[in-house]
Amino acid sequence: MDAVNPTDAVDPADRAVLNGVLHEIVEDGATPGGVVVCGTAAGDRAVLSAGVVSPFTGPAAPDEHTVYDIASLTKVTATWPLVGRALDAGLLDLDAPVREFLPPMEGAMPSGEATVRQLLSHTSGLRAATRFDLYDLTERPLHELICHELMENLPGTHRYINRGYILLGLALAHVHGRPLDELARELWAELGMDDTAYGPVRQESRVAPTERQEGHDRLWGAVHDENAAIMGGTAGHAGVFATAADLATYAEHLLAGRETPLGQWFRMSLVPQAEIEPGVQRGLGWVLGAGGSVAYHYGFTGTSLHLAPATGRYVVVVTNAVHNGAAARIRITPLREQAHKMLAAG
């Protein structure tokens, strides 16, 4: 792996533009507030914030230590790195069917034939809709119910599918003989991500609430994703809470260019596996844009992580954009686009 030659400072002009867009989306009502960290692999960080954590919890401004539900960033901060470790340990095989790494099952298993690589790259062909509220989980365990389902697409067809990462999370727990949240907690502790955890987390002022549920109070410290909630808050596709500071630490580990297993796994994962749309590819877990110069991933609640491996630069975005209803979250798009544009420019 080639060493990264990171920029040793955050460009003040880039910082100013990001700060302006962040304030604009807050003023537009896209989110009560949010935090952006733009930084480098060398450890240089600029922290930007706007708005409040939530009107529900009081007028406090968010900062890099505010805890957000990071939604699908769970895929690349928990499941994806743990899969890399399991591959190194010989507990998983990228091109073997996932059924081989789950408890024994009987009968035909069409979806169980999907490989670990296909699940990571969203090319498995599994059903895209995830409605565990319609499943009878008392009859058979979840991994069995999913594996026995028919596929919706031919393997190799790209389609974003949560249940693939759910299966990966279940497989990780099985091959290790330990719960997924326990495996993740050890990983984050090693990386110095002390404020990252699977929920539920304690309701306190530094935890950003998300959406009000029909007939219930606003979600606060409990996972927003309904399917992860049915699974007890711990799942391969969602359920993690983190701070912008911890996500910045994670980005620095991925980009530092050191000969670490995590760094090697990151570089390996940047090889395109499928086309999402012209100019945008899917690697193992990560989306690859700008000719492969930017790797990124989004979270439904209004979070994102953008990485530029060649320059060692990154942008972390955390908001609770579902606070005002799930439809409001698309209004943070200008902030994500600006983060991408900044890194793609080199």
Q: Are residues 257 and 305 in the same domain?
A: yes
Q: Classify residue 36 as exposed, middle or buried by CB count within 10 Å of its CB (0-12, 13-18, 19+).
A: buried
Q: For residue 233, is it within any domain?
A: no
Amino acid, single-letter form, for residue 346:
G
Q: Are residues 289 and 324 in the same domain?
A: yes
Q: What is the pLDDT of residue 70?
A: 98
Stretch 178-193: mean pLDDT: 98
Q: How far is CA 180 from the centre of its chain?
A: 15
Q: What is the pLDDT of residue 10?
A: 81
Q: Are residues 96 and 153 in the same domain?
A: yes
Q: How many helices (H) and strands (E) does the chain have?
A: 11, 11
Q: Are residues 84 and 155 in the same domain?
A: yes
Q: Are residues 208 and 143 in the same domain?
A: no
Q: What is the pLDDT of residue 5?
A: 41
Q: What is the pLDDT of residue 216?
A: 67
Domain of residue 170 covers 80-180
What span, in angstroms and rounded, lies between the C-alpha atoms of 257 and 22? 30
Is pLDDT above 50 for 4?
Answer: no
Q: 258 or 37, which is more confident? A: 37
Is pLDDT above 90 for 257?
Answer: no
- Kindly give the pairing relationship between strand 294-299 and strand 287-289: antiparallel
Q: How many domains does the chain have?
A: 2
* Tens digit of each residue's pLDDT (9 = 90 or more) over 203-236: 999 999 999 877 668 999 999 999 999 999 999 9
Give the residue ranges of DSSP H helices in the chain.
12-27, 74, 80-88, 116-120, 142-147, 162-176, 180-191, 226-230, 244-255, 261-269, 333-344
| Domain at 306, CATH number | 3.40.710.10
Reported confidence tier of residue 91, pLDDT bands at 50, 70, 90? very high
Reported confidence tier of residue 58, pLDDT bands at 50, 70, 90? confident
Stretch 3-21: mean pLDDT: 77
Q: For residue 230, is it within any domain?
A: no
Q: Are residues 87 and 65 in the same domain?
A: no
Q: What is the pLDDT of residue 8?
A: 57
Q: For residue 272, is it within any domain?
A: yes
Q: Are residues 62 and 93 in the same domain?
A: no
Report pTM: 0.96
* Tens digit of each residue's pLDDT (9 = 90 or more) over 124-179: 999 999 999 988 887 889 999 999 999 999 999 999 999 999 999 999 999 999 99
SS3 labels along 165-200: HHHHHHHHHHHHCCCHHHHHHHHHHHHCCCCCEECC
Distances (CA, A) of 174 to 84, 121, 154, 197: 15, 21, 27, 20
Q: Are residues 211 and 275 in the same domain?
A: yes
Q: What is the pLDDT of residue 212?
A: 85
